Structure 1
Amino acid sequence: MTADHTLLVEKLSLGYGDRVVIDELDLLVPPGKVTAIVGANACGKSTLLRSMSRLLSPRDGHVLLDGKEVHKTPAKQLARLLGLLPQSPIAPEGITVADLVGRGRHPHQNLLSRWSHDDDLAVAAALEATETTALADRHVDELSGGQRQRVWIAMALAQQTDLLLLDEPTTFLDVSHQVEVLDLLTDLNRSRGTTIVMVLHDLNLAARYADHLIALADGGLHAAGQPGDVLTVDTVRAVFGLESLIVDDPVSGRPLMVPIGRHHSPGASVTHSEGSSATIGARTTV
Structure 2
Amino acid sequence: MTDDHTLLAEDLTVGYGDRTIIEGLSLRIPSGRITAIVGPNACGKSTLLRSMSRLLTPRAGHVLLDGAAVHRMPAKELARTLGLLPQSPTAPEGITVSDLVGRGRNPHHGIFSRWTTADDEAVAEALAATETLELADRAVDELSGGQRQRVWIAMALAQRTDLLLLDEPTTFLDVSHQIEVLDLLTDLNRNRGVTVVMVLHDLNLAARYADHLVAMREGSIVTAGPAEHVLTAETVEAVFGIRNEVITDPRSGKPLMLPLGRYHVDTA
TM-score range, shorter chain: over 0.9
Q: Distance in 2 between matches of 1:188 and 1:246?
A: 29
Q: Distance in 2 between matches of 1:33 and 1:118?
A: 26
- Give 1:284's aligned residue: none
Residues 236-268 of structure 1: CA deviation (Å, up to 9, x unaligned): 011100110001112211000000001244666
Q: Distance in 2 between matches of 1:171 and 1:52?
A: 21
Residues 137-156 of structure 1: CA deviation (Å, up to 9, x unaligned): 00001100000000000000
Letter in 2 for 1:215: A
Gaps of 5+ in 1: 269-286
Quick check: 1:91 aligned with 2:88? no
Matches within 5 A, 1:32-71: 32-71=32-71
Measured after TM superposition, the shift of residue 218 of structure 1 is 2.3
- Give 1:130's aligned residue: 130
Alpha-carbon contact 1:204-1:255 (below 8 Å) kept:
yes
Q: Distance in 2 between matches of 1:217 and 1:127?
A: 36
- Give 2:212's aligned residue: 212
Secondary structure of the residue aligned to 2:183 is helix
- Give 2:114's aligned residue: 114
Matches within 5 A, 1:6-17: 6-17=6-17
Identity %: 72
The structure having more radius of gyration, on CA atoms, is 1
Bigger RCO (CA 8 Å, 6+ sep): 2
Quick check: 1:263 aligned with 2:244? no
Letter in 2 for 1:65: L
- Give 1:75's aligned residue: 75
Q: Distance in 2 between matches of 1:117 and 1:223?
A: 45
Letter in 1 for 2:240: F
Q: Distance in 2 between matches of 1:266 and 1:35?
A: 34
Residues 160-211 of structure 1: CA deviation (Å, up to 9, x unaligned): 0000000000000000000000000000000100000000000000000000
Letter in 2 for 1:61: G
TM-score (norm 1): 0.92
Residues 134/233 of structure 1: CA separation in 2 closer, same or farther (3 Å cut) = same
- Give 2:149's aligned residue: 149
- Give 2:221's aligned residue: 221
Quick check: 1:176 aligned with 2:188? no
Gaps of 5+ in 2: none
Q: Distance in 2 between matches of 1:73 and 1:170?
A: 30
Letter in 2 for 1:10: E
Secondary structure of the residue aligned to 1:186 is helix
Query: Which runs of structure 1 show a deviation greater than 2 angstroms over 4 or more consecutive aligned residues?
Result: 264-268
Measured after TM superposition, the shift of residue 101 of structure 1 is 0.1
Letter in 2 for 1:176: S
Alpha-carbon contact 1:260-1:266 (below 8 Å) kept:
no
- Give 2:193's aligned residue: 193
Alpha-carbon contact 1:245-1:266 (below 8 Å) kept:
no
Measured after TM superposition, the shift of residue 12 of structure 1 is 0.2
Q: Distance in 1 between matches of 2:219 and 2:146?
A: 31
Q: Distance in 2 between matches of 1:143 and 1:235?
A: 39
Alpha-carbon contact 1:94-1:141 (below 8 Å) kept:
yes
Measured after TM superposition, the shift of residue 9 of structure 1 is 0.6
Residues 126/39 of structure 1: CA separation in 2 closer, same or farther (3 Å cut) = same
Quick check: 1:103 aligned with 2:103? yes
Q: Distance in 1 between matches of 2:248 and 2:194?
A: 28
Residues 64-103 of structure 1: CA deviation (Å, up to 9, x unaligned): 0000000000111000000000000000000000000000
- Give 2:241's aligned residue: 241
The CA RMSD measured in Å over matched residues stands at 0.9
Measured after TM superposition, the shift of residue 227 of structure 1 is 0.4
